[in-house]
Amino acid sequence: MDKLDKLSLLLVLGIIMLVCTSAVIICRSWIIPIDVDINTGTQSAAAAPAPVEKSAFDHALVFHDNTAITNTGSFSLWLRARIIFPDASQLEDHQIISQSLEHGFWEFGNDRWFYYALPVAKNQSTEPLIDQIISSSNSGNANQSAGQFRMQVEIAPEIWLYEKPETAYDAFQQLSFSPCTAEKP
């Protein structure tokens, strides 16, 4: 083989390598979706997802229709909740009937938040915050049952606090920055 044949062979092999590399890239990006774990940089095919492990900092709250909240996280949480009405009416326009408020499980703070009196342990639930909401709007239908509302709930994990708080309000004062928030529509 002379030099020209060797050079031609190298060029053909180079083109074949480029075509094969392009085919692999196209196959992996268009046909087989790849997930990249941003924490470790490892890749895995989307068809076979790895099982998700719950870290110590995962917080999960389960909202119940009776306005009780379950802590499914890894450690105890202090909770506070706020009731939000979609029609821009204020909490003062409604009367909240709650056995939990009367019995001291929930407390209404000056900052318009309801604070749960005790930390909620792992896999435990709060007492329901609301038994009934009665609207006292200017529509002339006093004592009419209120329509829709949302509960915004914020958490203060006990392990984030530098000292043991006496109340939920104290726990949130220790977290002067914005705590983790979950919202139920």
List pLDDT tens digits, range 28-46: 555 444 444 444 444 444 4
The per-residue pLDDT for 52 is 36
Q: What mean pLDDT, rounded, does the chain reach?
A: 73
Residues 75 and 144 in one domain: yes
Going by pLDDT thresholds of 50, 70 and 90, the confidence category of residue 4 is confident
Residues 78 and 129 in one domain: yes
Q: Would the pLDDT of 57 be above 50?
A: no
Going by pLDDT thresholds of 50, 70 and 90, the confidence category of residue 62 is low
Cβ pair 126, 66 in contact under 8 A: no
Residues 110 and 177 in one domain: yes
The per-residue pLDDT for 66 is 78
What is the number of structural domains in the chain?
2
Pick from 59, 70, 61: which is nearest to 128 by CA?
70
Distances (CA, A) of 16 to 12, 19, 22: 6, 5, 10
Cβ pair 112, 91 in contact under 8 A: yes
The per-residue pLDDT for 28 is 57
Residues 25 and 69 in one domain: no
Across-strand partners of 67?
Answer: none
Residues 142 and 99 in one domain: yes
What does the pLDDT look like over 96-118, one tens digit per residue?
888 889 999 999 998 889 999 99
Answer yes or no: is 128 within a domain: yes
Q: Which residues of 33-69 are buried (b: 16+ CB within 10 A; e: fewer)?
A: eeeeeeeeeeeeeeeeeeeeeeeeeeeebebeeebeb
Answer yes or no: is 50 within a domain: no
Residues 35 and 65 in one domain: no
Answer yes or no: is 20 within a domain: yes
Report d(CA 129, CA 75) in Å as an integer: 22
What does the pLDDT look like over 113-158, one tens digit per residue?
999 999 999 999 999 998 888 877 644 444 445 567 788 888 888 8
Answer yes or no: is 9 within a domain: yes
The per-residue pLDDT for 127 is 92
Answer yes or no: is 97 within a domain: yes
Residues 168 and 79 in one domain: yes
Residues 32 and 67 in one domain: no
Pick from 146, 80, 79, 151: which is nearest to 119 by CA?
79
Q: What range defines the domain where residue 116 resides?
A: 61-184
DSSP 3-state percent helix, strand, coil across the chain (nearest 5): 25, 25, 50
